[in-house]
């Protein structure tokens, strides 16, 4: 546990959007953004609107932004800057990189995914499999909506080319044992391919410790701009031929998979995001604070509320899928919104393979570090009132 004290009130002062008193309990759908991130984006547009290679000030400015963003991403992911690729969003970047990795895949091969995966981590493989005559195989979730590792092991074979999985489910909050899955993939001779979009908002990441080949995430989940970001293990990725314009730079490694001009203003915003997180003590400090919020919520969850997924914080991030008995999910969400509490309602939350395992509609609550104990208590009180 970290010994650094986190001052949530001081953090909240940096967000104009939090000053109304409305409680944004919707972090899984995207977080609020501190003012300094928007200011960095605007500053880059004002002072550094240009492109790489220009022999004057704006050219140098965007070069500095790109180098700084790569370095920050490397620190955030636990890798070197050269192994980072940026893209429009995680899904677009995933399509680009998976397509390059799969150029030489042959008919009869398999890609193994899990029921807990967001379709942004699955659809690229579905499309590649359709083009290559391959099959996408799905490992089941347990009754507790965690990864069924026994089923995953049973479905690994000498035909498996990729094991793609979500490190944390955006629907249930369930966390996967990434090291275990990556080891199993490696032993089977397959690539390990991680969707860390939801996990990266709540936990520190070290790709070398995890032992993965590819890991993708999105800064908009951790108080940053809309971008895709990927780590690519050089030993795996250096032989992949990318789909991109031929004159575009292919060095260093990460640049090879960036298909066009990058949004330098958003990279400037990303740098401000990392500086903001660092100023709060870093992800380990924020994780500990958020876990406290999650534990408080679970301890106070009223009767008449059904929770889906792990019952404790041991196997989850602070994202909770639930229903109030006898009350439609849409009614719950709209009622809470009218009372100053923002949550979402939907069906299977883009986890297509999980559709038959979830109710037809449910409410999703997600805490992030700018949420407070008071907001948790307000939510619990309102759920109790709805449950009667």
Residue 63: Cβ within 10 Å count: 17
Predicted pLDDT at 202: 98
Contact assessment for residue 212 and residue 178, using Cβ atoms and an 8 Å cutoff: yes
Q: At 349, list the tokens.
A: 């939350």
Classify residue 175 by its DSSP letter.
Answer: B
Structure confidence at residue 4 as a pLDDT band (50, 70, 90): low
Confidence of residue 246 (pLDDT cuts 50, 70, 90): confident
Residue 2 above 50 pLDDT? no
Q: Provide the β-strand partners of residue 319.
A: 366
Q: Report which DSSP code applies to 224.
A: S
Residue 122 clears pLDDT 90, i.e. is over it: yes
Average pLDDT over residues 167-175: 98
pLDDT, tens digit, for every residue of 63-80?
A: 999 999 999 999 999 999
Calculate the CA 264 to chain-centre distance.
Answer: 21
The percent of residues in the chain predicted with pLDDT above 90, rounded, is: 95
pLDDT in tens, 358-386: 999 999 999 999 999 999 999 999 999 99
Query: pLDDT digit string (tens) for 290-323?
Result: 999 999 999 999 999 999 999 999 999 999 999 9
With CA atoms as reference, report the closest residue to 260 among 60, 86, 90, 100.
Answer: 86
Q: Is 262 helix (H, G, I), strand (E, B) or coil?
A: coil
What band does 206 get if pLDDT is binned at 50, 70 and 90?
A: very high
pLDDT of amino acid 249: 81
For 141, the 3-state DSSP assignment is: strand
Sketch out the chain's domains with CATH numbers. 8-30+282-387 (3.90.1150.10), 39-277 (3.40.640.10)
Q: State how beta strands 362-366 and 344-346 pair.
A: antiparallel
pLDDT, one tens digit per residue, over 130-166 is 999 999 999 999 999 999 999 999 999 999 999 999 9
Strand residue runs (E) in the chain: 23-24, 84-87, 110-114, 135-139, 160-166, 191-195, 214-217, 228-232, 305-308, 319-324, 341-342, 344-346, 362-366
Are 77 and 230 in contact by the 8 Å Cβ rule? The answer is: no
Among residues 369, 388, 367, which one has the least CA distance to residue 377? 367
- What is this structure's pTM? 0.97
pLDDT of residue 248: 83
Average pLDDT for 329-352: 98
> Taking the mean position of all CA atoms in its chain, how far away is CA 292?
21
Position 247 scores a pLDDT of 82
pLDDT confidence bin for 234, thresholds 50/70/90: very high
Burial bucket for residue 28 (CB in 10 Å: 0-12, 13-18, 19+) = buried
Q: Is 47 helix (H, G, I), strand (E, B) or coil?
A: helix
Neighbouring residues of 193: CB distance < 8 A, sequence distance ≥ 6: 98, 121, 162, 163, 164, 165, 212, 213, 214
pLDDT computed for residue 250 by the predictor:
82
Whether 58 shows a pLDDT value over 60: the answer reads yes
Q: Quickly state the pLDDT bin for 1 (edges 50, 70, 90).
A: very low
Query: Per-residue pLDDT for 126 more than 90?
Result: yes
Tokens for 3? 């010994």
Phi, psi of 139 (to 5 degrees): -80, 140
Average pLDDT rounded to a whole number, residues 340-357: 97
CB contact at 8 A, 367 and 221? no
Model confidence at 3: pLDDT above 80? no
Closest CA to 255 of 238, 236, 272: 238
Q: How confident is the model at residue 251 (pLDDT cuts 50, 70, 90)?
A: confident
* C-beta of residue 48 within 8 angstroms of C-beta of residue 58: yes
pLDDT of residue 218: 98
Q: What is the mean pLDDT of the chain?
A: 96
What is the maximal distance between C-alpha atoms in the chain?
68
Mean pLDDT of 192-216: 98
- Residue 125: closest CA among 138, 136, 139: 136
State how far the Cα of 221 lies from the Cα of 30, in Å rounded to an integer. Answer: 5
């Amino acid at each position: 546990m970290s010994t650094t004290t986190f001052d949530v009130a001081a953090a909240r002062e940096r967000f104009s959007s939090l000053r109304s008193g409305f409680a944004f309990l919707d972090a899984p759908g995207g977080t609020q953004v501190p003012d300094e991130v928007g200011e960095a984006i605007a500053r880059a547009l004002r002072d550094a609107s240009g492109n790489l290679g220009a022999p004057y000030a704006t050219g140098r400015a965007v070069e500095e932004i790109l180098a700084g963003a790569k370095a920050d991403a490397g620190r955030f992911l636990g890798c070197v800057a050269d192994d980072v690729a940026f893209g429009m969003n995680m899904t677009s970047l995933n399509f680009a990189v998976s397509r390059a990795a799969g150029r030489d895949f042959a008919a009869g091969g398999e890609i193994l995914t899990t029921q807990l995966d967001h379709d942004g981590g699955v659809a690229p493989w579905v499309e590649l499999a359709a083009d290559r005559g391959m099959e996408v195989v799905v490992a089941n979730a347990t009754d507790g909506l965690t990864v069924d590792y026994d089923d995953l092991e049973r479905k690994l074979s000498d035909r498996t080319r990729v094991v793609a999985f979500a490190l944390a489910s955006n629907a249930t909050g369930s966390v996967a044992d990434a090291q275990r899955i990556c080891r199993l993939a490696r032993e089977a001779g397959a690539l390990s391919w991680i969707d860390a979009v939801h996990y990266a908002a709540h936990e520190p990441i070290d790709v070398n410790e995890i032992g993965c080949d590819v890991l993708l995430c999105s800064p908009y989940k951790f108080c940053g701009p809309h971008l895709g970001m990927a780590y690519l293990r050089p030993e795996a990725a250096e032989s992949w031929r990318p789909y991109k314009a031929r004159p575009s730079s292919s060095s260093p490694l990460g640049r090879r998979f960036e298909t066009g001009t990058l949004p330098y203003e958003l990279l400037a915003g990303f740098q401000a995001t990392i500086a903001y997180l660092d100023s709060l003590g870093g992800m380990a400090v924020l994780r500990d604070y958020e876990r406290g919020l999650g534990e408080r919520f679970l301890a106070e969850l009223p009767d008449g509320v059904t929770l889906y997924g792990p019952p404790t914080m041991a196997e989850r991030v602070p994202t909770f899928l639930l229903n109030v008995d006898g009350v439609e999910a849409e009614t719950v969400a709209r009622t809470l919104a009218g009372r100053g509490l923002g949550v979402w309602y939907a069906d299977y939350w883009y986890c297509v393979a999980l559709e038959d395992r979830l109710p037809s509609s449910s409410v999703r609550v997600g805490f992030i570090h700018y949420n407070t104990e008071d907001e948790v208590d307000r939510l619990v009180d309102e759920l109790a009132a709805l449950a009667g």
